[in-house]
């Protein structure tokens, strides 16, 4: 696995030294900047996995830096260092596109844990499939659009997510509970019949013959499975 490269932008010398030591010891590759402008330059020119960004910085503050990066479509994850008791800083940081924050003074263990979590999340996102096609159906997961035989198919948002889950785990039988957990989430409790309804709609919209489905298969007593290469019977 590649070593993650982290840019730390912090103007306080002792804080910076402490961070560099801790992250280097934890196996990260670390580069640093001590003011906002050079930090922005480094962030634009270097391939990074994550940025740790102080808010109060000379030349360009952390908020403006974060905003500029997102405007340039540089979507490297950012963890902001906010001052204790400045609740509004957290909100502003997250609104400007930061991924997480820690409050000063923080424990280095907490920061390391958050870095790990954010890196894990961003890795998973880049591994997501972008497009997929079967028969005459083309799915663009990024644009959220589906066509069949060149015609746009209108899918409800949850139908789209059910389809995404089926294709992500193609060839694997998924239980109705699995759909409920991953698509509807823990905080809502629709019945498993809801899953059946969404599957039915997907078949009606995407399969050539909804009464004799080839791709979206029922596995009796278990759930559903997407067959990538259905037999031609
Ligand atoms: Ca500072």
**CA dist list (Å): 88 to 13, 93, 94, 136:** 26, 8, 10, 50
CA of 146 to the centre of ligand 1 (A): 48
Q: For residue 72, how far is its CA from the centre of ligand 1 (angstroms)?
A: 24
* Span from the CA of 19 to the centroid of ligand 1 (angstroms): 13
Q: Provide the residue count of the chain.
A: 233
pLDDT at 88: 83
- Rounded Cα distance, 54 and 141, in Å: 35
Q: What is the Cα–Cα distance from 137 to 167, expressed in whole angstroms? A: 13
- Mean pLDDT by groups of 10 residues along the chain of 233 residues: 87 96 96 97 92 96 94 90 80 86 90 91 73 93 91 93 91 91 72 91 94 92 90 59
Q: Is 186 exposed, middle or buried, given 0-12, 13-18 or 19+ CB atoms closer than 10 A?
A: exposed
pLDDT at 189: 66
Determine the pLDDT at residue 177: 87
For residue 15, the CA-to-ligand 1 centroid distance in Å is 9
pLDDT for position 80: 94
Cα 6 from chain centroid (whole Å): 18
Residue in 110, 118, 111, 163 with CA at minimum distance from that of residue 139: 163
Q: Tell me how far the alpha carbon of residue 21 lies from the centroid of ligand 1, in angstroms.
A: 18
The rounded Å distance from CA 58 to ligand 1 centre is 8
**Alpha carbon distance 216, 211 (integer Å):** 11
pLDDT reported for residue 196 = 94
Please give the model's pTM, rounded to 2 decimal places. 0.58
Q: How far is the CA of 39 from the centre of ligand 1 (A)?
A: 13
pLDDT at 2: 64
What is the CA(74)–ligand 1 centre distance, in A? 23
Q: How far is the CA of 122 from the centre of ligand 1 (A)?
A: 26
How remote is the CA of residue 143 from the centroid of ligand 1, in Å?
39
- 119 Cα: distance to centroid of ligand 1 (angstroms): 24
In this structure, what token pair is assigned to residue 68?
């500029």
Handedness of CA 140, 95, 101, 64 (dihedral sign): positive
């Amino acid at each position: 696995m590649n070593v993650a490269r982290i840019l730390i932008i912090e103007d306080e010398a002792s804080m910076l030294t402490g961070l560099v030591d801790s992250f280097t010891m934890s196996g990260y590759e670390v580069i640093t900047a001590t003011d906002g402008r050079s930090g922005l330059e480094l962030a634009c020119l270097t391939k990074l996995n994550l940025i740790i960004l102080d808010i109060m910085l000379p030349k360009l503050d952390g908020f403006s830096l974060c905003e500029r990066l997102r405007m340039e479509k540089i979507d490297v994850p950012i963890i902001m260092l906010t001052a204790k008791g400045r609740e509004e800083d957290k909100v502003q940081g997250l609104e400007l596109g930061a991924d997480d924050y820690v409050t000063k003074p923080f424990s280095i263990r907490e920061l390391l844990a958050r870095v790990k979590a954010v890196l894990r999340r961003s890795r998973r996102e880049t591994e997501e499939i972008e497009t997929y096609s079967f028969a005459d159906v083309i799915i663009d997961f990024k644009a959220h659009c589906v066509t069949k035989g060149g015609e746009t198919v209108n899918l409800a948002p949850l139908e789209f997510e059910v389809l995404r889950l089926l294709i992500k785990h193609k060839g694997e039988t998924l239980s109705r509970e699995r759909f409920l957990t991953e698509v509807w989430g823990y905080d809502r409790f629709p019945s498993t019949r809801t899953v059946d309804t969404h599957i039915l709609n997907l078949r009606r919209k995407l399969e050539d013959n909804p009464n004799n489905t080839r791709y979206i298969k029922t596995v009796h007593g278990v759930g559903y499975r997407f067959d990538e290469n259905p037999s031609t019977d």
